[in-house]
Structure 1
Amino acid sequence: MPKILIIEDQLEVRQNIEDILSLEDYEVISAPDGETGLALAKQHLPDLILCDVMMPRVTGFEVLMSLRQDPNLAVIPFILLTAKADHHAFRQGMELGADDYLTKPFTIDELLHAITTRLDRHYQRQAMVESRLDNLRQQVTRSLPHELLTPLNGILGTSQLLINFYDSLSHNEVMESLHDIKTSGERLHRLVENFLLMADLDLLLASPTRLEVWQSRLSQYTELPLSLALVLENLGQNQPRRQDVEMMIVPQRVQVAEPDFQKIVQELLDNAFKFSLPGTLVQLEAVAKNGTCHLTIRDHGRGMAKEELNSIGAHVQFRRHEFEQQGSGLGLTLAQRLTELYGGKLAIASVPGEGTTITIQGWESDSI
């Protein structure tokens, strides 16, 4: 039975709506003011909220704003009720995240139709999120055990070696073992981070309300070449390949939050290192064209065939029986989704035996 919260300061109106919804087998909760309504929303987590606009102390707009800022309440469908058909008020409500608007007096059919429509859309959205989660769970179930066990076995095996033979090992052998443990730990940490980020992005893309909460991040900037220099300083186990990187960077500010920008470049560089031999050139170029940033990463490795390019996705690896590279296959997918989240487009061109070029276009930028 769907649970509906009514927030309405006029007693007669509130009781009439309660009676109508109760007859339609809805579970009804009501509040005489916005402050009480917010408290009941947090307590009961209703499936839908009907809220009057003009109320003393806390208005309907303020109730809506508070709800949309609370992660536990942000996705609840919200219908504003008003006695005045004001276009400005209507736009204000919709911009704050209202799902619908009813002008008093409204008919029983109008009320029930608005509620049914918003609940149906809400349930469809929930079903889509659950479908994405089920798909992610299946992908993780197939790929996660192996990818977690590989570095974990390295940590356990090397630490056991130190325990058993510490007294007979030289200082250099101990340091080498500790370095191996650290490398495996870093790989395990990054793998878990990537799986969590992929789950967050799946939910984000399936829920417009979650995307609204992210809007402040989408307006942040990253300065080049400073941020790229930081990426190269923190290559982790790929640090020996730093000398293979050739950069050509035009100074500019790119409209991408710095943590996400660095994550994108880190994953693309990792992919370039993974599929090319040490000592071969990896070119990193960032130029500005018509107010947008054009970022290119080019390796001279083994490349990918057309069918492999068409199959790129999370948890996918190519020709693992031929090439025992490490990784879960998440990197390119994460880079692509983050790129698109900021209005960019990621393109891949590859020739088997010659290498791969990844280009990002469309991010807004300005010179510095």
Structure 2
Amino acid sequence: MKILIIEDDDAIRFTLRDLLELHGHEVLAAADGEQGVALAARHPEFIFCDVSMPGMNGFEVIEAIHRRPEGRLVPFVFLTAKAERSDQRRGMALGADDYITKPFSEREILDAIASRTSRHRSVRERVEELVEQRRRELGAEWSHELLTPLNGMIGGLELLQLEIEAMGRTDLKVMLALVRAGAERQERLSRKLIRYFELERQREQPGESARTGVCAAESAIRRAVDRVVEESGRGSDLDVRVVPARVPLPEVFLTDAVAELVGNALKFSRPGQRICLRGVVLNGRYVIEVVDEGPGMTARERESVQPFRQFGRDKREQQGLGLGLAIARRVAEVGGGTLVLGDTPTGQGLRAAINLPLARA
């Protein structure tokens, strides 16, 4: 095992290094915090670190190492004098696994390595198991959602190719309508994926946000409503009231976000149930609110919204990739705002609200 020692006391550092090498470990040794953080880039599997050091102390070291995601997976044990026990709570809060008080014994060091390594291994294996499980689930869902419309299109075209001479005009129109429906569904899925990854890129490159542009919120909302009504045919269920304002987002982004929220509201409500869409200026910000009368979401489901995750799929048939709320949230974030999911005043249904700053004049 590769072990990093960060200790400014030469005697302690040399003694600990010799002990670990005697037991077959590869040792990286640093005489101060700055050198220790640099050596942490060489991917140690365990870290011992003194708390009190000149320059960068142990707390600053663990914070620096944990800024790298891979650094959080490495067992980290502080070495401390008895007088420093009052700092243990702070160290644990920063992510330390344990404290060993100086002077320490050989058995304490070896036991710390064995126990903390075992615990981290169990956690890592569980995380890897969950990631693999989710990867398999996503693979199955993606395959189904992306291939289903293609299969319908290919099947329809093959039938046309074989039977077109014998088909009457009515049958031909029906078959072409089915092929077109599959193509349109495929286009919607593809556009949704493209939009999501575009928003992810914007989030990872914050400098681009300043160049995203400004749009008229009312126009974007109206476009979203027109799109959803054309797809669902449920215009009579929508109650739309919006006031004009300008927000710091491209119109296509805001249109997509509102369309996802309204589309979700329609998907989880029955024909005849009302969906209220409001756009108002409140406390110097623009709030877009969609309220439905469907089954709503539990508090746990609202907190667990993630891309490619659908809720209640075991209770009701759903189409799509589970990207709707994720896209709405990313759009809000790119525009400097938030997406908030909550209960409705009546307790039935879901309230989804995008809160955005107003664009500067």
Under TM normalisation by the shorter chain, which class is it? 0.5 to 0.7
Residue pairs, 1:96-175, within 5 angstroms: 140-175=138-173
1:62 aligned partner: none
Q: Could you tell me how far apart the structure 1 residues matched to 2:256 and 2:68 are?
A: 29
1:361 aligned partner: 355
1:216 aligned partner: 211
Give the 3 Å change call, closer, same or farther, for CA 176–297 of structure 1 in structure 2: farther
Q: Could you tell me how far apart the structure 2 residues matched to 1:125 and 1:183 are?
A: 46
Give the 3 Å change call, closer, same or farther, for CA 293–304 of structure 1 in structure 2: same
Q: Retained in 2: the 8 A contact 1:286–1:293?
A: yes
Q: Could you tell me how far apart the structure 1 residues matched to 2:319 and 2:353 are?
A: 23
Structure 1 position 317, deviation (Å): 1.5
Structure 1 position 150, deviation (Å): 1.8
Q: Retained in 2: the 8 A contact 1:308–1:318?
A: yes
Unaligned 5+ segments in structure 2 are: 1-33, 43-63, 72-130
SS in 2 for 1:225: helix
Runs of 4+ more than 6 Å apart = 124-128, 134-139
1:326 aligns with 2:319: yes
1:335 aligned partner: 328
Structure 1 position 321, deviation (Å): 2.9
Q: Retained in 2: the 8 A contact 1:249–1:286?
A: yes
Q: Retained in 2: the 8 A contact 1:238–1:273?
A: no
1:240 to 233, 238, 245: 233
Q: Retained in 2: the 8 A contact 1:292–1:365?
A: no
Moved more, 309-318 or 190-199: 190-199
SS in 2 for 1:280: coil
The CA RMSD measured in Å over matched residues stands at 3.8
Give the 3 Å change call, closer, same or farther, for CA 350–196 of structure 1 in structure 2: same
SS in 2 for 1:234: helix
Q: Retained in 1: the 8 A contact 2:202–2:334?
A: no
2:175 aligned partner: 177
Give the 3 Å change call, closer, same or farther, for CA 238–125 of structure 1 in structure 2: farther
SS in 2 for 1:235: helix
Give the 3 Å change call, closer, same or farther, for CA 245–175 of structure 1 in structure 2: farther
SS in 2 for 1:355: coil
Give the 3 Å change call, closer, same or farther, for CA 362–182 of structure 1 in structure 2: same
Q: Could you tell me how far apart the structure 1 residues matched to 2:159 and 2:166 are?
A: 11
% of aligned pairs identical?
Answer: 28
1:196 aligned partner: 194
SS in 2 for 1:177: helix
Give the 3 Å change call, closer, same or farther, for CA 185–304 of structure 1 in structure 2: same
Moved more, 239-248 or 158-167: 158-167
- TM-score, with structure 2 as normaliser: 0.58
Structure 2 residue identity aligned to 1:227: A
Give the 3 Å change call, closer, same or farther, for CA 334–182 of structure 1 in structure 2: same
Q: Retained in 2: the 8 A contact 1:224–1:254?
A: yes
1:261 aligns with 2:259: no
2:269 aligned partner: 276
Structure 2 residue identity aligned to 1:212: G
Q: Could you tell me how far apart the structure 1 residues matched to 2:180 and 2:357 are?
A: 36
1:249 aligns with 2:242: yes
Q: Could you tell me how far apart the structure 1 residues matched to 2:144 and 2:360 are?
A: 44
2:17 aligned partner: none
Q: Retained in 2: the 8 A contact 1:302–1:353?
A: no
Give the 3 Å change call, closer, same or farther, for CA 138–364 of structure 1 in structure 2: farther
Structure 1 position 211, deviation (Å): 2.1
| Cα deviation 1:145-167 (Å, max 9, x = unaligned) | 11112222222233233334334
Aligned residues: 249
1:227 to 194, 216, 220: 220
Structure 1 position 191, deviation (Å): 1.7
Q: Could you tell me how far apart the structure 2 residues matched to 1:137 and 1:212 are?
A: 31
| Cα deviation 1:194-229 (Å, max 9, x = unaligned) | 233333444443x4xx22134211xx2211422222
Q: Could you tell me how far apart the structure 2 residues matched to 1:301 and 1:169 are?
A: 43
Give the 3 Å change call, closer, same or farther, for CA 239–328 of structure 1 in structure 2: same
Give the 3 Å change call, closer, same or farther, for CA 293–366 of structure 1 in structure 2: farther
Q: Retained in 1: the 8 A contact 2:239–2:276?
A: yes
* Structure index of larger Rg: 2
Give the 3 Å change call, closer, same or farther, for CA 283–275 of structure 1 in structure 2: same
